[in-house]
Every structure is written in C-alpha cells, then in structure tokens.
Structure 1
Amino acid sequence: MERKGLEKRQIFEKLDEFQKNDLEYSSGRILGSMCTCAHPVAKEAYCKFLESNLGDPGLFEGTKTLEDAVITMLGELLGKKDIHGHVITGGTEANLMAMRAAKNYARQEKSIIHGEIIAPKSAHFSFKKAEDILGLKLKEAELDENYCIDLNSVKSLITDKTVAIVGVAGTTELGKIDPIKELSEICLEENIYLHVDAAFGGFLIPFLQDIGFKINDFGFNLPGVSSITIDPHKMGLAPIPTGCILFRDEKFLDVMSIETPYLTEKQQSTIVGTRTGASAAATWAIMKYMGWEGYTKLAKNAMEITNLLARGLVQNGFDLVSEPELNIVAFNLSGLTAKELAKYLDDKGWAVSVSSCPPAIRIVLMPHIRREHIEELLEDLKEIKETLI
C-alpha cells in the first residue's frame, strides 16, 4: 500500500491492465463455464443494494422483504409456494447448508452422531467439502449406463447412519438428471432427508418441461424432497455470486439457527454471517424482468444451440458421450485423449473443460454462446481432425 493514495485515474488505468488478462463471456470463447453474462437489469439492481447486509436483517427490512419474495418465486417455480430459504453465494454454500441441516436434524430426531451421506459419483465436489467440514462420511453411489445415479447402488449403501441422500438435476459434467422421483420414494420409505442439487438445472428444467421437453421431475411437487439448491447466477442471469438454498419445512432452518446477541435477530442457517443483499435484489429484479416467457425463450434458445453443436459434431465424425439432456455436450475424437484435444482447442483460443466421468471435452452452451460461435468452433474442430489424419 502506498503511503499517499493514488489518483482515481491511475487506479483505473491499473485495473484496466489487470482486466485485459481476463477472458470475457461476450467473446463466445468461454465454453466450459456454467456462468454467463449478467443481465444489465440485474447488474443495476445489484449495485443499488451493495451496502445492504442480510446477515443483520433487522437493519435492512426492505432487502429482507426482497429476499423473501425471491424465495417465494423460486418455490412457485419448483413446485411449492410455501417454502423457506436464503439467497447466498452459490451452489457450494447451498449444498453445505443442506448437508448441515440434514446432519443436525438427524442428530436431533434420530440421535445419529456420526452421519453418512449418499451422493452419486457425478455429484458436485461440494459434497466432498461437506464430508471434510461437517464430519460426514460420503458414500458414492454408482452410475447407470446413462450416467445417472443407480438406484440399486443407493439402496445398498443405506445404513442406520444415513442422514441424507443427494440427487442431481443437471450434473456439472454432463447435465444429466437423476431419477429424483424414485429417490423421493426411497427417502419417504426410509425416512431419510433428500437434497436435490439443481444449481444448474433449476432455471432450465421447469421452462423446458413447459414447452414439451420430456424431463424428469425434481422439485417440491415430489413429497420426499427436503431441500433444493438453485443458482440464479447460472441460467438465471444474475451476477456472481448468487445462489439459493430452499427448504420444504422451516424445521430444517431451525436446527441450524445460531443466537447472535449483538445483532438485531438470530442468524438462521447460512454458512457466512455478513452476506450481501445485492444478490437478492438482483435476483428479484431479473426474475421480474424476464418473467416466465423470457426464461422459456432463453431455455429454448440454449437447447437449439446445443442441438446445433451436437449435430455438427456427429456429422464431422466426433463421438458424443450421450445425447444431451440439458445444454451441455460432451464428446471425444478417436485417437486423442480428451486432454490432448483440449490442448488443440486451447491453442485456437477456446476455453473448454474436460469431464472426468467419463473423460471427454465438455461444452456448456450458456446464453453468451451464439450460433456463429458454434459454427466457428465446428470449423476449428474439423481442421484439427483433418490435420491429425
């Protein structure tokens, strides 16, 4: 730190230099991220509420009202208006909160001290963090031939120490949707907490179902679902960081509440204390602005771009891992490992990622990806293939 502060002009010149090294979503070159350009309406609302702190809601009653309205809207989207939850940083915090709720509830209601959670091998890495941070044992269920959780594997892993089962609605690597209805039935029968990680699929699946896509249910309309993660900073077009955790019943929040005598109210469940109200305001604003029709159009366009890429890959001799369910395409090229192909694409300026189960190039077709970007990508892939033959 300088003893005497820099002028504003100097500071922003330096910031510009730092920012030049960042990739921009708008370039269409970021193909492996589940985040995208925040909508201008959401960004404006975010900046307007930068100083609000939902960690002390008694001081920011207007912002708390906004957060409650967001949770209600998300509940309506996911099958149950009367739900409870918070706008937080993202899917990792939401999943940690869900596992903490399951752990505390099982300890209170079933006297389970050393709990276990069951999640598919395709689950997000945040559940490994939950194992470490919360002292829970993570048991990974096998996947079926469609890369979804295998129900027989789940049943074989259940013990008297199981505090939660996890299903995913839009896996991080392949965009697959687990059989949540069947998991709901298992959890009701076994009296086990069911958490659905819909961080990615939550802002997609309901709109696609509405226009005729045959996609598995995953929401609170299934009676065994206890909690859901959903991320507005993905397909919801809210700024980073914006995630949400939703609970069917307030009792799951109550088992995590902490007395905070120096604040206006006790804190209810969130991992962090101080948390910005800007994310809640931005989510409220963009959901009101987009409406059901706007998000349906966004989802439909994402799937059209997804199908354009999938068809082009097959036509050019690339191997799809499976037919895409959501806007993620994974593929390989015979004779190259996924990492080798990723290096060729990186050399051409494409920022892709590699899935691990199975190893493949993974492309996420977020709203910043347009038809012309896919056409250019397919041309580069065709050139790479021809060069190697």
Structure 2
Amino acid sequence: MDERAVLEELKKYRKMDLKYEDGAILGSMCTKPHPITKKISDMFFETNLGDPGLFRGAKKLEDEVINNIGKFLNNPNPFGYIISGGTEANITAMRAINNIAKTKRKNHKTTVIMPETAHFSFEKAREMMDLNLITPPLTKYYTMDLKYINDFIEDRNNKNDISVDGIVGIAGCTELGAIDNIKELSKIAEQNNIFLHVDAAFGGFVIPFLDDKYKLDNYCYEFDFSLNGVKSMTVDPHKMGLAPIPAGGILFRDKSFKKYLDVEAPYLTDIHQATIIGTRSGVGVASTWGVMKLFGEEGYKNLASECMDKTHYLVKEAKKLGFKPVIDPVLNIVALEDDNPEETSLKLRKMGWFISICKCVKALRIIVMPHVEKEHIDKFLGALTEVKKN
C-alpha cells in the first residue's frame, strides 16, 4: 500500500471511534485534549524518557512538570514521573510501600489499608506483590471509617500482630467522586509511622482549583503534601489537566523515596530506572508542560467552575425527572440511583449513550468532563427518561 492508501484505510477505523465532542461519552474520566497538544505531539513523538540522557530536553521538561504540579499540591521539592496513567502510578506507590516494608521486616506480608471505593489498579498491585489489603467499612458519605482504622491499627499494635505498612486515601474516588478525610488519615499515618498514599488521579487537577461555593460541609478538601503524613500522590494530567493520553503522574514527597524504586539498567544513559514501564514517550510530558503554561492557575480554576456548574445543572434537572443522586456532587462526578444499572446502561448504549455503572452502590455514573455541554445533558436525560418508561 502507498501512503495515501494507508491513511485512507486508517480513516475507516477512526470513524468507528466515538468522539468526545459529540457528547455521547459520559462515563470517561478522560476528555478531548487541548488543541495545542497536537503540535506538541508532533514535536516530541520520537522522544524516549526511558533513556533520558539521549533526550535531555524532554527530561528537563519532565522535571519542570513535576515541580509545577508539586507547586499546586503544596510541595516545593517533589520527586516523580509522568507515566502511562493512574494504574501505573498507584502500582508504583504500592511498590514503594512494599519495598520499604521489606527493609524493616523479613518474611512479612505487606499490609495496606484502603477503601472499598479504591481504583481497580490496587487489586492489580495486590496480585502482583501479594499484598494484604484491609478494607474498612464506608460511612454514609462513602468515605473510609476513621474509627475503624484507628481501632484496627491500635489493636494490631497492642497484640504485636500484623503491622500496617501503608494507607491509601482517595481524593475523588472513581465511582462517586468522594474524598476521604486525608487530613485525619495523615495524622494517623504520622502517629504510627505508616506510609500514606493519596490517589488523586482525578481530583488532583480539580480540588486545588475548586471554588469554595462548590465545597460540601461533609468532606475535608485538604488532601495534598501540606499534610505531613502524605508521602506520595497519583495525579493524572490526561484527565482534567487536558493533556493527551498517556500522561499519568506519580509524585513523592522528595527524592529519598527513589531508592525504593530503582533497579539497575547499566546499558542506559541513566544506570537506574524507577518507573514500571521503561520506554516512555516524551509526548505526555511536553504536552502537560504546554497546557499548564497555557492555562495557568486561573485557566484551571475556570475549567473546574465550568464543569461544576454543568454538574449541578445535571443533578438539578435529573431530580426534576425523578432521578436521585446517591450523594450530592463532591466533584464533577454524578451517580444516579438505579434499581438495575447494568440493564439501564445497556439500553442507553443501544441509543448511543455511553455511561458507566458503580460497583459500591446500584447507580449510573456520569462524569461531567469539559467536552460535555448542557445540550448533551438535556438529550441524555431525555434518553434516560425514555429508557425508564419502557
């Protein structure tokens, strides 16, 4: 095939894909990247951060991006990487916890406390590293029960039994957008010398820019490195940061944690590697740098406000039609109660609407990303009403 034929053939496949701007994608935490990233992608498409000495400019950009993200997460001296996504970031954090635990005790099964609402990446980490995961009960706000955590740790300490090596708090859980009380978890972690990881894959580019008028009294919105117990954090620029996939982020409090991740790679320009995926394109790094410079703090504040306005519009209009949210929206994520969410979502899919469902509660899950407009919301609710009538 010649070049023209190849491209024409590929267009046929691309036409099979949904497009964000059509508004039918309502269950994804990703969105249409900012247009500037097309030009940036072309500029950096051949770079490989797996061998950073060959691509010093891309590596310098990564360092700047991590520092820039660290600034709005109240960490002036972070260490980390822009990697494939939240899954790799969370597994990286679990790897650090596991390796730290091994330096303290031999023949010890690493124990981590995390909520039932945690992302599926932690289940992958459990399988890969044979972790012992403890899931406390949830409060009515779908956050971890702090008393249970305190009692569990105190009981184990008193019995000199299974010590807890890590705690995972969620800042914007995948299903509902709920935020665990990271401030109190930080205190618990500090008092007991436990590593606290915060999964803010979604919330990391929302919570710091959220106007106070959108904040609920039932949640603590303090979640970042200003809390001394927080040792690492997952933050994904390819979600609300408007960078293209792949651009996930893992940040640690400082570079002292690198030694728990490094493996030898003597044939590369940097003889140690810490990321799980070795070969990494510089496109995610450069695109994140570009969008962050373009938007600035004010731009992300405006973006968060626009999404939250549309989120509240969705909830208001849904209530008028008799659809009840599981909780008031904490972030731009809405879960609508449904007796049979699997069936409802399949019927909606046949009508061209792609939402998702929750695991922790019977509900339909809608993410109000920047590509979702009020007209899309109105059409979706019309389709949902039609489905429920039949």
Instruction: Indicate conservation of the 8 Å contact 1:353/1:361, yes or no.
Output: yes
The letter of the residue matching 2:291 is I
Match of 1:298 in 2: 303
| Alpha-carbon distance in structure 1 between the residues aligned to 2:255 and 2:50 | 18
Give the secondary-structure state (helix, strand or coil) at the position aligned to 1:319. coil
1:332 CA drift (Å): 2.5
Question: 1:94-115 deviations in whole A, cap 9, x for unaligned?
Answer: 0011011111112224557321
**CA contact 1:254–1:268 (8 Å) conserved in 2:** no
Q: Name structure 1 gaps, 5 residues minimum.
A: 1-5
Q: Please, what TM-score do these two structures have when normalized by structure 1? A: 0.94
Matches within 5 A, 1:8-87: 8-87=3-82
SS in structure 2 at match of 1:46 = helix
Normalization by structure 2: what TM-score? 0.94
Which residue of structure 2 aligns with residue 315 of structure 1? 320
Query: What does 1:348-367 align with in structure 2 at a 5 Å threshold?
Result: 348-367=351-370
For residues 165 and 353 of structure 2, what CA distance do their matches in structure 1 show?
42
How many Å separate the matches in 1 of 2:308 and 2:229?
A: 29
Q: 1:106 aligns with which of 101, 109, 123?
A: 101
Q: Identify the match of residue 371 of structure 2 among 346, 363, 368.
A: 368
Report the AA paired with residue 283 of structure 1. Answer: T
Instruction: Call closer, same or farther: CA 1:332–1:233 in 2, change over 3 Å.
Output: same
Determine the C-alpha separation between the residues in 2 that align with 1:161 and 1:63. 41
Q: Distance in 1 between matches of 2:301 and 2:105?
A: 42
| Aligned mates of 2:42, 2:137 — CA distance in 1 | 44
Q: Summarize the alignment of residues 44-193 of structure 1 with structure 2, pairs less than 5 Å apart.
A: 44-111=39-106, 113-158=108-153, 159=156, 160-193=162-195
1:199-238 matches, cutoff 5 A = 199-209=201-211, 213=215, 216-238=221-243
Q: CA deviation at 1:268?
A: 3.7
Give the RMSD, CA atoms, in angstroms: 1.5
Conserved 8 A contact 1:267-1:273: no
Q: CA separation in 2, counterparts of 1:217 and 1:139?
A: 24
Aligned partners of 1:376 and 1:94: how far apart in 2? 36
- In the aligned structure 2, how far is the partner of 1:354 from the partner of 1:211? 28
Instruction: State the 1:154 CA deviation.
Output: 2.2
Alignment of 1:327-342 (within 5 A): 327-333=332-338, 336-342=339-345
Superposed displacement of residue 52, structure 1: 1.1
2:257 aligns to what SS in structure 1? helix
Taking the aligned partners of 2:140 and 2:227, their CA distance within structure 1 comes to 24
Residue type matched to 2:237 in 1?
A: P
Which SS does the other structure have where 1:326 is aligned? Answer: coil
Shift, 1:264, TM fit: 1.3
Q: Determine whether 1:270 maps to 2:275.
A: yes
| 1:246 paired residue among 247, 251, 275 | 251
Secondary structure at the aligned position of 1:356 is classed as coil
Q: SS of 1:300's equivalent?
A: helix
Cα drift, residue 242 of structure 1: 0.6
Does the aligned pair in 1 maintain the 2:326–2:335 contact within 8 Å? yes
Q: Which moved more, 1:14-23 or 1:63-72?
A: 14-23
Give the CA deviation at 1:286: 0.5
Measured after TM superposition, the shift of residue 48 of structure 1 is 1.1
* Contact 2:143 2:178 (8 Å CA) reproduced: yes
Shift of 1:344: 2.7
The 1-side partners of 2:350 and 2:273 are apart by: 48
> 1:373 and 1:87 mapped to 2: Cα distance?
32
Is the CA contact 2:211–2:301 (under 8 Å) kept in the aligned structure 1?
no
Bigger drift between 64-73 and 158-167 goes to 158-167
Aligned to 1:3: none
The separation in 2 between residues aligned to 1:212 and 1:174, in whole angstroms, is: 16
How many residue pairs match? The answer is 380
| Local SS of the residue matching 1:86 | strand
1:259-281 CA deviation, whole Å, 9 max, x = no partner?
Answer: 21111112342001111111111
Give the aligned residue type for 1:354: I
Q: Which residue of 2 aligns with 1:280?
A: 285
- Distance in 1, matches of 2:203 and 2:174, equals 10
Rounded to whole Å, the distance in 1 between the matches of 2:306 and 2:211 is: 14
SS at match of 1:361: strand
Following TM superposition, by how much is the alpha carbon of 1:150 offset from its aligned partner in structure 2, in angstroms?
1.2
Partner of 1:384: 387
